[in-house]
Every structure is written in C-alpha cells, then in structure tokens.
Structure 1
Amino acid sequence: MKKLSGLVVLVLATAFRTAPDNSTDLPQILTPTFRKDTLLISKFGAVADGLTLSTAAFTKAIEQCNRNGGGVVLVPRGLWLTGSIALKNNVNLHLAKGALVQFTNQRDAYPLVNTTWEGEDAVRNQAPISGTDLENIAITGEGILDGAGDAWRMVKKSKLTADQWKKLVASGGVVNDKQDSWYPSAQSLKGATMTVKAGQDHSYYEDIKDFLRPNMLSLTRCKRILLEGVTFQNSPAWCLHPLLCENITLRNVTAKNPWYAQNGDGLDLESCRNGLVENCLFDVGDDGICIKSGRDEQGRKRGVPTENIIVRNCRVYHAHGGFVIGSEMSGGVKNLYVSNCTFMGTDVGLRFKTARGRGGIVENIFVDGIDMTDIAGEAILFDMYYAAKDPVPQQGESNELPTIPAQPLSEATPQFRSFQIRNVTCKGAETGIMIRGLPEMAVKDILIENAVLQSRKGLVCIEADNIRLKNVTLISPAKTLMQIQNSHNLTFDNIRYLDKTDLLMYISGDRSKDIKLLNTNTSNAKKTAETTADVPANVLTMK
C-alpha cells in the first residue's frame, strides 16, 4: 500500500459518508409555542448602563408575562447587569441582537440552594438562570448571556503563561500552599482543601460558599424547552445543565468558556428524554457535548436514563471531549443518534468514560459522520478507568494503567455495549482507537466502520468482546499498529495501513481468543502478528 496523503484521507472518508437522519427510528421532539404578547424589561425598571442591577426588573417582567398566560420577555440591545433569573411557564426570554446580559460578579447575590453537583444531591449557589418543574419555556435571540465565571473559578498555574499567572495573582484572590493554583477568595481555597460533606444544613456551607460554584443554566424536571440562537458564555461551572427534562431543543446555540475552566463543560444532558441538539458550537474548558444520568448509588437509585437524543451538525473547538458519555452515567444511557459533527483541537474526539462503582448500562449508540483535526489524545475512546483528571497527561504524568484484578459483578459494575460508529476521519491524534474494559466487564459489541484515522498510535484494545473494525485505515508511524490484550471475538476486516509497518498486531493475555483478520493485505507489514507465551494457540485466523 502506498503512503496515504491528507487529501486521500478526506476523499476516502467522504466517499463513505451517508445521511443517517432519514432513519424512522429517530425520536420526535416536541417544541414549545408562545403567545406573541411582548413585554420589555425596560418597562419594569431595567437600565442598560451595565451598572444598575436589574434583577428585580427581570423578575417582574417574567412573572407578569407568566400571569398574562405567557408570551415574550424582550431584552433589547444594550448591557444589562443582573443577579439570578428564574424562568416561568410559557415564557420566552428573547435577547435581541446586541443584547448582553451580564450576571453580577458579586457572589453574595447568589444564595445557597439545594441542587445537584456532578450527578449527586448537593448544596450549591443559585444558578444565574434556573427553572424547576416548568413547561413550555425558551431562551432565544441573538444576544449573549455572560455568567461572570471569572469571579468563581480556580485556575491552575500550569494552564497559564508566566505573565498571565503574574497578572492573575496580582488581581487579588489567594494562592494555595503549593503555589500552583489560584482561588478567587479564601473561602474558595478553604472549600478546595476539605472534604465537603453532603446533606448538611445550609449553615454548614456558609464558610465555603465561594467554593460552591453554580452551573450557569440549571433546568430541572422541565418539559418542552427551546434554546435557540443565544450565546451562553463564561460560566462558573457547567454551562448548560438540563436535569430530568423532556423534549428539549438546542438550535444554533453557542457555549463558550475559557479553555482552562475547571468543570467548564458546554452541555450536560442528565437523565433527559427526547432531545435535539443541532447546529450548535462549543468552545469550552471541559467536555463539549456530554451525556450523563447520575452518579454511583444515587444515580442508580434515581434510575432515569438519558435516552432518545439526536445530536447533529455541531462543531466543538477546545474541549476535553467532543461528544462524551459519562462518567456519571449510573442511570443508563440509550438510543443516541450523533451525526455530521466536527471536532477541532479537542483533547479526545468521541469519549465514552466510566469507572467501577458507577453501574449503569450505555447501549444503542449510533454515530455517523465525525471529522476531527488536531486531537491531543484519542480520536475514539472507550475507557472504564476514568480517574477524574485531564484526559491528556501533564508533563511528567503517566497515563498507564495499574494492574487491577477482576472484581465480582454487582449493580455497581458499569457496561458499555452496542455502539455503531461509521464514517469517521481524524487528521492528527495521539491514538486512533483505544478500548479499555474491566477484567470483569468487557466493552462489548462495538462496530467501527469506514474510518480513516491518522495518529501516532493505531489501536489499543484491552478487555473487549465482539469488536468489529471494517474498512478502517490506521495511518500511524508506530512500530506496532494494533495492540490487543485479553480480548476476544474481534474481527478486523479490510484494515489499511502504511507500507513497511514493523508489526501489524501484538496479542497478549491468556483470555485473548477468536481474533480474525480478513481481507487485509498483510504483505505490507514486516511481520503480521506476535503473541505472548500465555496466549492460546491459533488465536488468530486470517482469510
């Protein structure tokens, strides 16, 4: 096989591209409708000078619109300063072009409330925008909502230049004893250095209030939601967090957070049902588009999966993952349809993560049409060893797994199964495909078809069952193209690779068996396969 140029990579992938959106299996999402009656926030005392706190005006306008039977609350062009906003039934909060809603950076303007944090019950500060048990709500328009996240976020020294760090420290706040992290206040630092107990009275949290960063948009148990056209930026933590919601549509939404923002996710759909995310842009500090369903025992007890979600025609720039499931997926995830998305400069492309203790089943995931460039880590990653740290190791850190023995199966054992991933291109990654299951629970039933992946490493497959690669090109300079450990029922059909690859396949582990290599020109590799002494005889079949 001749060496493949970048142009050939794109041509090959484009030739395979199909349109998945014609499937009759796609869920139907109900969208809200509103009366045309319109109320201006300025009529309720809001002042667009960037100095006058207009919280009361926003509240009065939204409540009056709700009492009138619904309609539109209009935010005209201008700079509007406000505290937290609570949505109401049948209200469309519409931001005109040129409208900037700036949430105040005064942290005491956000009271402590009972909410959730990373999939578990928690006390946090009130979200800048929130709604609970609502129906028929929307935030629309071409304006911007800014969450004043700089007033809340800690920042790691390693993520800034020397000049940036110097300016940040000079701006106020405090630095930890190691002098490697900045916090906006002593309260924030105190919270970071202690184990925060759940289920306490609000008085317990007062001394660490600044540490309890809110998500920017928090919607809980709401139905028929529309977010369209608006830019949500600079969130204290997660940007958009619908929880236990039904029939949610995001269209032409932009979510932006600084790339160094801890927990700065773009979108987290948690235990939601029937959703559409289309033509959206994410440029954030953590995962871009993320699917969740609660964490560990609380998530399993809730038992509400995220299901029937369509994601299409979206772009993700900086993020820890482009499209992500987990790691809080204890209530399960099923029936997701992802198509025609582009990831540029994310740490990982398709990122599916969990860990022991989570439980939950992730299944029936359909991905078709993903293009990626400059991926720092893995283009496609299934990882059951999630460790709650950046997916790309910092300088000096190791990403190698410790040797972990199998554990008995229980309700806390997570499962990844039944994924179909088609028509993927990646120009530049550390690893093309990595699959890491648990010794007691393999990653199962994965099809990757019609892919061209250019990366430093090709395939790493550990503890996997029924993995099928068909029409996959792995463009890698690695001496060993595919590394397989303790995996079985693997089929590699029409695998293409660079000429003069030293070793096509390295197989290890006494549980490796039933591996097939089909329709693949092995003559371009110096050696087809090597096995360790513990691998059963006749592990590999070639046709």
Structure 2
Amino acid sequence: MQSITINYLFMKNYKNNTYIILLLISCALISCKQNQSKANDDSVENTEKISTKDTIWEQADKIIAEITIPEFQDKEFNIKDYGAVSDGNTNNSEAFKEAIAACNEAGGGKVIVPKGKFLTGPIHLKSNVNLHLAEGAEVLFSKNKQDYLPVVHTSYEGVELMNYSPLIYAKGQKNIAVTGKGTLNGQADNDNWWPWCGAERYGHQEGEPKQKDEHNLPTLRKMNEDGTPVEERVFGEGHQLRPLFFETLECENILVSGVTFINAPFWVVHPLKSKNITVDGITVNSHGPNNDGCDPEYSKNVHITNCLFNTGDDCIAIKSGRNEDGRRVNIPSENIVIENCEMKDGHGGVVMGSEISAGVRNVYVRNCKMDSPNLDRVIRIKTNTLRGGFVDGVYVKNVEVGSVKEAVLKINTHYGIYDNQEGAFMPSIKNVYLEDITVENGGKYGVLIKGREQSPVENINLTNVTIKGVENPESVENSAPVKYLNTMINDIKMENQTMK
C-alpha cells in the first residue's frame, strides 16, 4: 500500500518528487532514532537493575570520600602553660578553657593534654581546635555536679532540653577534634551519676530521687508532647537527668580518633544535628546504664571505623528524635558507614532506634566482628507507634559473629508496648540486606521479626549467611517473606516463605 501511494504521488505531481522523497527519508530516520533511543533507555534501566547490588558498597565508599575531615594549623597550646596541674585533684577547668580560647583565637591548632592525670569540669570545644591527649594522659571529669552548670542546650533520650553540660560539648562549631592515645574518664559509678537511673545494681537506694520521678522524665516527655520551646525545658539542678559524655550539637567536620572513653554517665559519643563526622580507632569501655557507645542523631555523613565497643547498652545506636521532637525537627539520620569495628558486650551491635521518629536511611555495616555472651543482638531495629519513623536501606556485609544471646537480626515495631508505648504513627521498615555473615553461636533466634499488620516489614534479604547453634531459625510476624539465598541455619538450607 505504501508503494502504491508513493507511485501515485510521483505521477500526480512530479515537480514535488524531491520534497516527498526527503520527507519520507526524514520520517524513517526519526523513527529509527526513536527506536534506538528506547533501546538505549531500556538498556540503561536494565543496567541499573543489574548493577544496583554491585554499587551499594561503591555508595558507601562515596560517602566516606565526601566526608570532610578537619585539618588544623601546626600550633600547640599545652594546658600546663595555662596553669594545669597533673595531680588528679586540682580542678583545671580554667586552664582547659583558656587554652582552648587561645587556640581558637589564633586560628586553630592542638590543645595538648600531656602525660598525667588532669581533673576538670566540662570541656567546651571551639572551632578549629583539636583537643589532643598524649599517651599516658588521663582527663578525670569532676564528680561535683555544680561544675556542670549553667545548663546548656542538649538532649536526653531523643528529646531536647536545657540540662547539665555534657562532659565534652560543642555547639555550632566547625572543624573540631578529640584525638590521641589518652583516656577520658567520666568517673561515673555507683556513687556518681549512675544511681539516678533508678536501678539498685547501679547504686540506687530506695527513696532516693531517680530519673523516672514525676519532675524528671515524665515532665520532660509532657513538654515534648505539648511542644514546649526547648529554652523553657529547664532541668539541671534539682533534677536527675544524667549528662552525655561527648556531644556535638549543630556542628560540622568532627573527628574523634584514638582516645579511650571509660565510666560514662550516659551515652558516650553523640553527634546531634551534625554532619561530616569521623569516629576512628576509639575504644569505649563503659558498662554503666544507657552507656551506648556511639549514637548519631539527626546526623548525616558519618564514618565509624576501627573502633572497639564494650558497653552497658547498645554499641552503636542510630537515632532521630523521640515522638513529637523527632517529627518537629524532621532530620533523618542518613549516610552512615560502620566498618572494621569490634563489638563485645552490648544490647545490640548496630541498632536503629528506639528514638527514631524522623527516620533512618542508608546505613552500611561491613567487615566487623561481634562476639560476647553478653551481646544481645547483631543487627536490631526497634520502634513503635508512638515513635513511628522509618528505616529504609540497611546493608550489612562480611560480619563474623562468635556468640550472640538473642538474635542475629531483630526487627521489632512493638518496642516498649508494655510501657504504654502505643500511638497513631505507624512505622515503616524496609530494604534490609545481610550478606556474607557467619555466626558460631546464634542464641535464641536467627531472624526475629515482629511487624505490624497495618504496615508489614518489607524486603528483608539474607545471602550467604551461615548461623549455627540457634534454638529457633526464625520467628516472623507481619512481614513480607524473608528472602534467603544460600543461607544455612543449623545446617538447614532456608527456603523463602509465604506472607506471614
């Protein structure tokens, strides 16, 4: 038909033959180009689908490469030159303060803590200052609670407030560091800070004040619920909410390297609303109440590497605010790479939650070792319908586990329900990948998932995972089928299941 039409046109008007031929050739070329373009688009789409798994760890490398590690001038400010005395008894707060101020005013450098024991109150860092602890240096933080006043803008279990100063604190600073081979000793114990948690094993005595008393956590949580401005949430003296060890608030370009933290009052390393954070080669050896090792919160671009965590609570816990505070701030914690770390005692090796109302995305864990009969879980996600929030994208690879007590992977969206932790904010958990994991003694469960009927857990994957010695290979409720590939639990090959 097309041939007849062309012949007719030639016969009808031979003067326009050239134009018609050109028109037909042009149409053919356009059609060919469109088909080729579609083929190229399909090829790109297929390539993306094929290479997504391969590029996951390239994305982790890209995050690390984009993190700005602070650099400092080659200037030193020794605290002894500002009157510090290394007898373990003299309060050196002013010497630290003056050395840090001088360093900052000079454009930055190192504030040197030499070998010896130096007692001090809280240390407030300023931009371009590297607090450097020489080998054999120990900073002892005062047991006098008055030293941690006036109150500062800080946080307690995912809720912002005005409270006792963290032991090391920075707000709104850039290019700061705590480095060296020395020890930071919070001097918290059963006679200092810990009894406020309310547990007898941490020194609390019946009738003494504790954090759950009405004027403490219940009041703070009511303020959170009511949206009370942070500057009006004043605690500190007369209250029993313990300070954090090291907190950066609204800071950029942070380095914590080499130092050892012991005897923490509460959470140890807490980047809050901060970005470009490197935690490299630190040791956290602290078994007090809520002694989490490192808790990035509302923070972006975090690299935690070469660290040892031996803690009284979670080794690493990624957070993003509790309930109304998390929804008000609305900054997810994201782009967090954890590698080459060792986890011993702790409630969890790498944990997301429970203060997670603003959500967590893009967490990468690789080349880690976890081993302790007192390590409860390897990977844990915990939230509820008061917290809500989301977790999207957790990638775990090359992890060796000796002993773990409860579960290798635990996802629980009913966390704390026995404490009336039910609300109207349905959590969302999806896209969790475990690959190349070996577990010698898996405890009670290989995989333990408790989702919600209204919001089932989605896309959980185990590839090349071997778990030995568990009581129950899996317990899964309200979750899309867990996808198993080349995964053995108790020498039994795991098969994909139907919806539970």
Change (3 A) 1:155 1:472: farther
TM-superposed deviation, 1:374: 2.0
Of the structure 1 ranges 55-64 and 248-257, higher mean CA displacement relative to structure 2 is found in 248-257
The aligned residue for residue 472 of structure 1 is: 487
Q: How does 1:143-158 map to 2 (within 5 A)?
A: 143-150=182-189, 151-154=192-195
Q: How does 1:234-383 map to 2 (within 5 A)?
A: 234-258=263-287, 261-345=288-372, 346-383=375-412
Q: How does 1:405-416 map to 2 (within 5 A)?
A: 412-416=425-429
What are the superposed Cα offsets for residues 240-299 of structure 1, whole Å, 9 maximum, x if unpaired?
A: 1000111000110111212xx221111000011111111001011110011111111220
The aligned residue for residue 431 of structure 2 is: 418
Structure 1 CA distance, aligned partners of 2:403 and 2:418? 20
The aligned residue for residue 46 of structure 1 is: 84
The aligned residue for residue 453 of structure 1 is: 467
- The alignment status of 1:123 with 2:162, answered yes or no, reads yes
- Aligned CA-pair RMSD: 2.9
Give the one of 35, 57, 62 matched to 1:26.
62
Structure 1 CA distance, aligned partners of 2:486 and 2:310? 32
Name the SS for the 1:267 alignment partner: coil
Name the SS for the 2:292 alignment partner: coil
Letter in 2 for 1:38: E
Q: Is the 8 A contact 2:319 2:353 kept in 1?
A: yes
The aligned residue for residue 197 of structure 1 is: 219
The aligned residue for residue 238 of structure 2 is: 208
Structure 1 CA distance, aligned partners of 2:303 and 2:197? 35
* Structure 1 segments unaligned to the other structure (5+ residues): 1-17, 169-173, 178-185, 391-401, 482-493, 497-504, 508-512, 516-543
TM-superposed deviation, 1:154: 2.3
Q: How does 1:388-537 map to 2 (within 5 A)?
A: 412-428=425-441, 429-454=443-468, 455-475=470-490, 494-495=493-494, 513=498
Structure 2 CA distance, aligned partners of 1:356 and 1:297? 12
TM-superposed deviation, 1:152: 0.2
- The alignment status of 1:142 with 2:181, answered yes or no, reads yes
Q: Is the 8 A contact 1:155 1:262 kept in 2?
A: no
Structure 1 CA distance, aligned partners of 2:120 and 2:237? 25
Letter in 1 for 2:349: G
Name the SS for the 1:371 alignment partner: strand
The aligned residue for residue 124 of structure 2 is: 86
What are the superposed Cα offsets for residues 229-248 of structure 1, whole Å, 9 maximum, x if unpaired?
A: 01112110001100011100
Q: Look at both structures and tell me which one has the larger radius of gyration over its CA atoms.
A: 2
Name the SS for the 1:465 alignment partner: coil
Runs of 4+ in 1 over 6 A off after TM superposition: 155-159, 200-204
Q: Is the 8 A contact 2:256 2:278 kept in 1?
A: yes
Letter in 1 for 2:165: Q
TM-superposed deviation, 1:20: 7.3
Change (3 A) 1:226 1:471: same
Q: Is the 8 A contact 1:26 1:308 kept in 2?
A: no
The aligned residue for residue 206 of structure 2 is: 176
Name the SS for the 1:149 alignment partner: coil
Q: Is the 8 A contact 1:20 1:368 kept in 2?
A: no
Q: TM-score, normalised by structure 2?
A: 0.80
TM-superposed deviation, 1:364: 1.5
TM-superposed deviation, 1:514: 5.8
Q: Is the 8 A contact 2:289 2:313 kept in 1?
A: yes
Name the SS for the 1:447 alignment partner: strand
Name the SS for the 1:208 alignment partner: coil
Q: Is the 8 A contact 1:448 1:468 kept in 2?
A: yes
Higher strand share: 1
Letter in 1 for 2:321: G
Change (3 A) 1:389 1:264: farther
Q: Is the 8 A contact 1:190 1:208 kept in 2?
A: no
Structure 1 CA distance, aligned partners of 2:298 and 2:369? 25
Of the structure 1 ranges 127-136 and 291-300, higher mean CA displacement relative to structure 2 is found in 291-300
Change (3 A) 1:94 1:474: same
TM-superposed deviation, 1:206: 5.8
Q: Is the 8 A contact 2:450 2:477 kept in 1?
A: yes
What are the superposed Cα offsets for residues 393-432 of structure 1, whole Å, 9 maximum, x if unpaired?
A: xxxxxxxxx9x9xx99x6x111111111111111221111
Name the SS for the 1:238 alignment partner: coil
The aligned residue for residue 140 of structure 2 is: 102
TM-superposed deviation, 1:372: 1.4
Change (3 A) 1:224 1:275: same
Q: Is the 8 A contact 2:60 2:337 kept in 1?
A: no
Q: TM-score, normalised by structure 1?
A: 0.74
Change (3 A) 1:194 1:238: closer
Give the number of equivalent residue pairs. Answer: 430
Name the SS for the 1:88 alignment partner: coil
Name the SS for the 1:299 alignment partner: helix
Change (3 A) 1:66 1:331: same
Name the SS for the 2:349 alignment partner: strand
Name the SS for the 1:294 alignment partner: coil
Higher helix share: 2
Change (3 A) 1:25 1:46: closer
TM-superposed deviation, 1:156: 8.6
Q: Is the 8 A contact 1:449 1:471 kept in 2?
A: yes
